[in-house]
Structure formats: C-alpha cells, structure tokens
C-alpha cells in the first residue's frame, strides 16, 4: 500500500477532529495509529487497511482494545482512501458484515428482486429492511447446510432453521411472515422454486407472552418526574418523555420529528409515521407543548438541521430512534422505578401504558387506534391482556366447583 496521501495530509485530519470537539483520547489514538502506520510502512506487505488492523492488534486479546483500534483505523482509512472526514457516524468498512454479503449469486438475486418489488409497491423502508435481514439470515443458514440454490432447499433444511436442536421454536411469527413476503415477491422471478418453498414453510400463529407494563404508582412517579423542574432531567429528556408518556408516539417517529411538525397555532403535532408511512395528527397538550418549547428556546443547539431533537455534541446531528431508549432509561432512573435487573425500561412501555389506560377508561377501540396511528384494528389486541379493569369483569367464580383445602394457601 502507498501511504503518501496520508503522510502529506494527516494534519488535516487531526485538525478536523480537534475542531469538531472529539475527545483528546480519541484524537491521541488516531495520531498514534497514523504514526504507527508510517513507521511500519517500509517493507510491509499490507494490501488493505484490514491487514493494517490485523497487524496492529496481533498481540492483544482485549476486545475493547481491538474495538478502539477498529474505529480509529476506519476513520484513517476513510480519510486516506476516500477523502472523508469523520462526522461522528460510525462507518467501519474494515469488515464486511451481514448475511447478505455472504450469499451466493442466486440468493442475492432473490433479495435484490424483493427490494425492487418493495420500491415499486411503495413499501415502507423499514418493512423492506426487515424482510431483507430475515430472509438473508434464512438463506445463509440454508447455504451453510449445502444448499446453494432455491431448488436445493428441502423441508428438513427449513425445519432445522425454524426449530432449534432441542426442539424449541426460536423463530417468531413475524419472522416467518417476512420470509413468506419475500418468497411471494419472488413468484414473479422464479415461480416454481418460490412456490415450492412456500409450501414447506411451517405454519404458525402469533405468540403472546406476558410483558411488564407500567403500574399505576409507576405511572404517577413518571408524571411527577416529568413535571418537576428539579428532577435532574435535561430539557430534552423532559420533552421526549412528555411525548412518550402523553402521546404514546413511537421512538422512530420522535426521532424523525421536524420543527414544522409542531403546529403551535392549531395545537397539533403532524407527522408521517415511519412504520406505516400513514399521516398522523395528534392533539398538542399544554404539558407536551410547554416541554417542547422549553427545549427549543433554552437548550436546543443552533443548527441548520430542521430535526426537532438534535445531539448535544457537535456537529449536532439528529439521533437515531435507538437513542430514545436512553432517554426513557434516564426517566425511569430519575423517577426511582424499574432499576432491578430484568426490569423492562424501553420507550414502548409508555405507548403500552397509554393504550391500556384508554382501554381501562372505556375509550372506544376506533378512537384508540386512530390516536395511536394503527392502520389495522387488530393492532390493539396485544394490549388487551393488560386491561386489568375489564379482565376482572370477565372473571368467572369458582364457588360452584369443589376445591381441596389448602390449594390457595400461601
């Protein structure tokens, strides 16, 4: 490899890191790795930055050590070969990851056909992405069993994927649905092969499991925490928490909110849902509006980006939906709830709480579905198992049945 470009322009990269507020430790690591590369350049047999990385971490067993060098060498590689300056987004081309990249040509062709079909039909990007991911994993498993074409995949291969070695069924109903969707799209490409696979896919219904939900006392603790200016939460925490708690919005929709999404004069929040692409209009409660206004006027950094919520670190990019989880976790911590191991602390708990509160209060199903942005009335069914108020009304007395003494003793 030739590192002339890196040798001549390295200071440009280091100056950029310091100017953009990267930590001194990270800047120091990038500087040391550049020095190490240029020192060991003479006589090396490196053909790629992957070779550089392997030599750099050869004598270490520490995963954190390897990860740190992966990240810094990726930044150096992007700058040296592509002229890209870091922008705080992790982009690591040193390793080719993902099942799709390991598939044989025919399997990749099926995936590509599904992508094109999804675009043609106007499917939501997240829907297509989920289908691609699950189908790629399925096809890779088939490939590892020796089947390198659709025609070579047999029933035993399919069963081995959906049922574990111990007889358990680790794959969900939605997993099977996404694989089915890809094969149905493939009918216009290779009808015979896709139809044969559809015939041997296992049939399964959705499984319902008991999930944790916010108890009334926990909900009151969250509400008090959000309304208390001295709770220790940032203004962004409180604005995001208010949207989660009072509107039940999905994390992906909160992350994609724009400044124009908030209609101050009409007291509404308007958005196109990321999951369904359907428009949704939510009333803007005073509690939510005040929390958003405080964040906008007192804490939100100045930026030409029109996303409502921005990262606190420069260059203040909008964060991903996954980051909403951390805001939810901070709210639980500030409220003093859900701090035991195994306690559920995700953002979806708030959405679940809103739906069950509506159900318990006797709000009609169509009104709840409209408020939550459901396009299918069946989407409300998973919340019914937590509707304690109405479940108690449906309970049957066991007084007419003889029960042996001591059965209900603790």
Q: What digits encode the pLDDT tens for the residues 95-112?
A: 656 788 889 999 999 999
Q: Scanning the structure block, which residue is given the tokens 């359907």?
A: 278
The Cβ of residue 121 has, within 10 Å, a number of other Cβ atoms equal to 9
Neighbours of 246 (CB within 10 A): 19
pLDDT number for residue 299: 95
364: buried, middle or exposed (CB in 10 Å: 19+, 13-18, 0-12)? exposed
Q: How far apart are CA 70 and CA 405, in angstroms?
A: 66
Question: Could you read off the pLDDT of 69-91 as tens digits, one per residue?
Answer: 989 999 999 899 888 888 766 55
**What three-state secondary structure class fits 409?**
coil
The predicted structure's pLDDT at residue 283: 92
* Residue indicated by tokens 């908030």: 262
The structure tokens listed for 313 are 């670190």
H-assigned helices in 122-215: 125-144, 155-162, 173-185, 191-200
Task: Give dist(CA 212, CA 195) in Å, integer.
Answer: 40
CA distances (Å), 311 to each of 78, 162, 289, 320, 329, in order? 23, 40, 20, 10, 17
Task: Give ∠ CA 209-379-206 in degrees, rounded to 5.
Answer: 40
How far is residue 208's CA from residue 307's CA, in Å, rounded to a whole number? 36
* DSSP single-letter state for residue 369: H
**282: which strand partners?**
269
Tell me how many degrees the CA angle 177-180-184 measures, rounded to the nearest 5.
Answer: 140
Tokens of 310: 């921005």
Instruction: Classify 351 as helix, strand or coil.
Output: helix
Chain centroid to CA 371: 23
Classify residue 386 by its DSSP letter: G
Give residue 162's pLDDT: 81
Cα distances (Å, whole numbers) of residue 165 to 7, 118, 162, 206, 333: 54, 34, 10, 22, 40
Do residues 242 and 312 touch, judged by C-beta distance below 8 A? Answer: no
Per-residue confidence (pLDDT) for residue 232, from 0 to 100: 93
Place of tokens 């990270």: 26
- DSSP states along 259-302: GGGEETTTTEEEEE-TTT--EEEEE--HHHHHHHHHHHHHTPPP
Residues of the chain where predicted confidence (pLDDT) is lower than 70? 88-97, 164-170, 204-211, 376-398, 407-410
Domain 216-392 has CATH 1.10.443.10: yes
Q: Which two tokens stand for residue 406?
A: 């001591």
- Block residue for tokens 């507020």: 21
Which three-class secondary structure state does DSSP give residue 144?
helix
Q: Are 86 and 78 in contact (CB under 8 A)?
A: yes
Please state, in angstroms and rounded to a whole number, the distance separating the CA atoms of residues 56 and 219. Answer: 51
In the chain, where the domains are located:
4-82, 100-200, 216-392
Q: Which of 275, 293, 403 is nearest to 351 (CA)?
A: 275
170 contact partners, CB below 8 Å, separation of at least 6: 162, 163, 164
Structure tokens at 364: 């009609």
Contact 242, 298 (CB under 8 A): no
């Amino acid at each position: 490899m030739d590192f002339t470009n890196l040798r001549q322009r390295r200071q440009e990269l280091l100056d950029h890191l310091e100017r953009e507020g990267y930590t001194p430790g990270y800047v120091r690591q990038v500087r040391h790795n550049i020095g190490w590369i240029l020192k060991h350049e003479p006589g090396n047999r490196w053909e790629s930055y992957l070779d550089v990385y392997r030599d750099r971490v050869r004598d270490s067993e520490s995963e954190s050590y390897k990860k740190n060098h992966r990240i810094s060498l990726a930044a150096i590689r992007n700058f040296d070969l592509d002229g890209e300056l870091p922008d705080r987004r992790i982009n690591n081309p040193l390793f080719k990851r993902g099942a799709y990249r390991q598939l044989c040509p025919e399997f990749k062709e099926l995936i590509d056909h599904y992508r094109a079909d999804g675009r043609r039909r106007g499917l939501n990007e997240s829907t297509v992405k989920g289908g691609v991911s699950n189908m790629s994993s399925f096809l890779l498993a088939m490939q590892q069993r020796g089947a390198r074409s659709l025609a070579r995949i047999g029933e035993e291969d399919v069963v081995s994927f959906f049922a574990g070695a111990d007889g358990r069924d680790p794959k969900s109903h939605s997993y099977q649905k996404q694989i089915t969707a890809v094969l149905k799209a493939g009918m216009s490409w290779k009808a015979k092969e896709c139809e044969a696979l559809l015939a041997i896919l296992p049939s399964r219904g959705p499984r319902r499991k008991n999930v944790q939900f916010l108890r009334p006392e926990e909900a009151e603790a969250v509400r008090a925490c959000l309304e208390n200016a001295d709770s220790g939460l940032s203004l962004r925490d409180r604005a995001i928490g208010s949207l989660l708690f009072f509107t039940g919005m999905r994390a992906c929709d909160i992350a994609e909110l724009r400044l124009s999404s908030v209609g101050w004069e009409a007291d509404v929040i308007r958005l196109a849902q990321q999951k369904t692409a359907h428009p949704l209009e939510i009333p803007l409660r005073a509690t939510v509006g005040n929390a958003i206004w405080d964040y906008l006027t007192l804490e939100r950094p100045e930026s030409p980006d029109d996303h409502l919520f921005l990262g606190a670190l420069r260059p203040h990019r909008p964060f991903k939906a996954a980051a909403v989880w951390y805001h939810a976790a901070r709210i639980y911590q500030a409220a003093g709830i859900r701090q035991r191991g195994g306690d559920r602390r995700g953002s979806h708990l708030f959405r679940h709480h809103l739906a069950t509160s509506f159900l318990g209060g006797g709000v009609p199903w169509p009104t709840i579905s409209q408020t939550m942005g459901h396009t299918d009335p069946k989407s409300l069914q998973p919340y019914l198992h937590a509707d304690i108020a109405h479940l108690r009304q449906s309970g049957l007395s066991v007084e007419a049945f003889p029960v042996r003494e001591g059965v209900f003793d603790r």
